[in-house]
Structure 1
Amino acid sequence: MMRLNVPMITSAALVDKLLSRNVFTVFDFLQRPNLDLQDICNLSCKEVSKLKDNIMISYCSDFINAFILYSNSSTNCIQTGIVNLDELLNGGLRYGNIYEFCGPSACGKTQLCYSIISNISITSRNIIFIDTKCEFSIKRIKEIIYHTYHVSKNQMKVALDKIHVYSILEIYSLISCLHSLKEKSELIIIIDSIPVLYLPFVGSSKNEGLCFMNHIHSILKRLCKNKSIVLLTNLAVKNCDFSNEDVTSLSTKQTEYKPAIGKYWLHVPSTRLMLTSKQSQQYVINVTISKSVNLPINKNCILTLNNKGVL
């Protein structure tokens, strides 16, 4: 550790005082309680704290400003290829995070996943798509890629080869599938949709479904530690509370949605995006951040759906 000297400490007299009290190095100085240093140097608490801060910034290279660290992490993400969505997510999907697209039935969750898959597969990234509904449409993926990028047959084949589809019909198979991916890193994993596997356990006296979901959560966290990105789709249900309500007050309650799978699952995603849609001259999807560890809540964007996918 660096020895104390005059450029570091304001005067030679202070250095001599510190050395006489067995404060020889930067480490000794930083570890010494402020009250002791006030007595040794005859300085105020504010002056001692300022001196420590200056030494840490100027001479301790291991310390880094938290804002710089956060700014550098912004490059550690993958763009979805959907401009408005990438802006909403502050650059794209970040490694090590669990994202959830949550919304009522037929609001565009799967189509949004298809567009993200199509855009990412054009680059050098491989994607794991876990289909729990047996509805995966390779025809739709090809349509999005063709109309968006106008690729040749060979380029189309290269893109499709990067999409690895797993058809999962029961929760045990999902657990086994995720376990097989644990030792891999920097994966992009999409699960469409998570409630399909959980709902058969609703009403079970043994509450097995919750135990399985807890296990799935643990595996997803392990995958995220390996710098993978996990994207889930979840069903949103109407948030109705019939206790102590009259009929007239229910109309406002029924317009609000909440994620399915119960209260336990609420904390699992790092970022939850609530989707709602409407059909006018074109299919419009409203995406709102309802929960996030690093993004502003209630910020939203508008997406449109056509033969090119979600734009």
Structure 2
Amino acid sequence: MGALKYLTVKYASIDADFLQFCASHGIFSVEDFLVHDVYVLVASAEKLSNSDRLKQGINQLLSIIETLHQPWVNGLVLLEDREQNKHCLSTGGKSFDMLLQGGLRVGHVTEFVGPSSSGKTQICFQVASNVAMKLGSVVFIDSGNSFSPTRIKQIVTRISGSVENRVHGILQQAMRNIECHAVFDVYALLNVLHQLKSSLESQAGYKARLIVVDSISSLIAPILGGSNAQGYALMVSVGYLLKKLADRHNIAVLVSYLTFCCLLAGSI
């Protein structure tokens, strides 16, 4: 659903005053709203002169969320979805596939943690190369300006074999299949994820098989600390979007962390 400002066109009660009120509570998107206590927001609105209008906006937003949430499904439907769509994507490495019991699970977020210079980015390159070569589109979100086409070429060449003409064709296809986005703060990350969500829902034939976020630590660390409720809300929003994209569109998601951020993994 994305940023609240996009709802102003269709819903009169979600106006500039309501957006300003939400912003004062660190709420800029529907996901931010979902992680806030509605009763606290209502109590805060009641202290203001335009409280009735603000409460109409809150109720309108709740109504929108209720209308658009996924319907309840029974266990048989979930089982069929799991068997038909929620398979595993090979990482391209036998040891990793064995460790993950088959590879990266489609429809889920897979996280791995390690200290600086431990090879996390190389794993991301390995997985992205393998999926782009054999399965289809990869969205690679690069937070450290570390994406290396040269390294991707080396990995693809190694996996493909030694026949030069064959390697050239596979390399071109793999590079076309990798869509790289450089992001340097959590807001840019959220923007990319919202754009991806919109493309998956509106563009016929657009399909991503894998999303890689390398590394999410540099984006999350600056917004946390002390009693920074907005920072936590933004972190939860990222996790919510990644899980939603994975499950709804049958995508495998791979997220890397520095060791000092390992305690954050449960929120993503």
What TM-score comes out, normalization by structure 2 length? 0.61
Moved over 3 A (4+): 68-75, 202-207
Question: Quick check: 1:102 aligned with 2:113?
Answer: yes
- Given the alignment, which residue of 131, 139, 144 partners 2:150? 139
- Cα contact 1:81–1:119 (8 A) shared by 2: yes
CA distance in 2, matches of 1:170, 1:204: 19
Question: Quick check: 1:223 aligned with 2:245?
Answer: yes
CA distance in 2, matches of 1:144, 1:155: 11
Distance 1:79 1:208, change over 3 A: same
- Given the alignment, which residue of 149, 156, 168 partners 1:153? 168
- Given the alignment, which residue of 171, 175, 182 partners 2:190? 175
Distance 1:81 1:141, change over 3 A: same
Greater relative CO, 1 or 2 (CA 8 Å, sep 6+)? 2
Deviation at 1:204, TM superposition (A): 6.1
DSSP-derived class of the 1:182 partner: helix
- Cα contact 1:195–1:261 (8 A) shared by 2: no
What does residue 258 of structure 2 align with?
A: 235
- Cα contact 2:91–2:104 (8 A) shared by 1: yes
Distance 1:159 1:202, change over 3 A: same
What amino acid does structure 2 have at the position aligned with 1:232? Answer: V
Structure 1: gaps spanning 5 or more residues: 1-61, 238-259, 270-311
Structure 2: gaps spanning 5 or more residues: 1-73, 201-206
CA distance in 2, matches of 1:123, 1:216: 28
What does residue 286 of structure 1 align with?
A: none
CA distance in 2, matches of 1:74, 1:173: 30
CA distance in 2, matches of 1:81, 1:74: 20
- Cα contact 2:89–2:105 (8 A) shared by 1: yes
Deviation at 1:236, TM superposition (A): 0.5
- Cα contact 1:74–1:91 (8 A) shared by 2: no
Listed one character per residue, the Cα deviations across residues 124-176 of structure 1 (whole Å, up to 9, x for unaligned) are 31100000001111111101111231343232111110010000111111101
- Cα contact 1:96–1:229 (8 A) shared by 2: yes
What amino acid does structure 2 have at the position aligned with 1:235? Answer: L
- Cα contact 1:132–1:193 (8 A) shared by 2: yes
- Cα contact 1:98–1:268 (8 A) shared by 2: no
What does residue 45 of structure 1 align with?
A: none
- Given the alignment, which residue of 74, 78, 81 partners 2:89? 78
Distance 1:220 1:63, change over 3 A: closer
CA distance in 2, matches of 1:199, 1:75: 32
What amino acid does structure 1 have at the position aligned with 2:139? Answer: I
What does residue 236 of structure 2 align with?
A: 214
Distance 1:138 1:186, change over 3 A: closer
What amino acid does structure 2 have at the position aligned with 1:94? Answer: R
| Between structures 1 and 2, the one with greater helix share | 2
Distance 1:203 1:267, change over 3 A: closer
Output the aligned Cα RMSD.
2.7
What amino acid does structure 1 have at the position aligned with 2:194? Answer: H
Between Structure 1 and Structure 2, how many residues are aligned? Answer: 182
| Between structures 1 and 2, the one with greater strand share | 1
- Cα contact 1:129–1:164 (8 A) shared by 2: yes
What amino acid does structure 2 have at the position aligned with 1:120? Answer: V
Deviation at 1:190, TM superposition (A): 0.3
- Taking only the aligned residue pairs, the percentage that are identical comes to 31
Deviation at 1:100, TM superposition (A): 0.6
CA distance in 2, matches of 1:107, 1:78: 23
